[in-house]
Amino acid sequence: MAGEEGGSSGSSPAAEPSPGGGEAGAAGGEGAGGGGGGVAYDGKCVFCRITHGEEAGTELLPCEHEDLVCFRDIRPGAPHHYLVVPKNHIGNCKTLKSEHIPLVERMMAVGKTVLQRNKFNDLNDIRMGFHWPPFCSIAHLHLHVLAPASQLGFLSRMVYRINSYWFITAEQLLERLKAESATI
Q: Is residue 157 part of a domain?
A: yes
Type of residue found at 65: H
Catalytic-role residue among 81, 131, 142, 144: 142
User: What is residue 38's predicted lDDT score, i.e. its pLDDT?
Assistant: 58
Nearest to 19 by CA among 167, 174, 181, 175: 167
Is the CB of residue 29 less than 8 Å from the CB of residue 90? yes
Q: Which domain holds residue 73?
A: 64-182
Predicted local confidence at residue 184, as pLDDT: 72
- Domain membership of residue 158 (yes or no) is yes
pLDDT at 183: 84
Residue at 90 is within a domain: yes
Per-residue confidence in pLDDT tens, the chain, 184 aa: 445 433 333 333 333 333 333 333 333 333 333 334 457 999 999 999 999 999 999 999 999 999 999 999 999 999 999 999 999 999 999 999 999 999 999 999 999 999 999 999 999 999 999 999 999 989 999 999 999 999 999 999 999 999 999 999 999 999 999 999 888 7
Identify the CATH number of the domain in which residue 168 sits.
3.30.428.10
Q: Looking at residue 5, what is its pLDDT? A: 38
What is the reported pLDDT for 29?
35
Is 108 inside any structural domain?
yes
Quick check: is 42 in a domain? no
80 is catalytic: no
Report yes or no on 143 lying in a domain: yes
**Stated pTM of the model:** 0.80
Give the chain's domain count: 1
**119 in any annotated domain:** yes
Q: At what angle do helices 170-183 and 101-117 cross, to 10 degrees?
A: 160
Residue 123 located in a structural domain: yes
49 phi, psi to nearest 5 deg: -65, -40
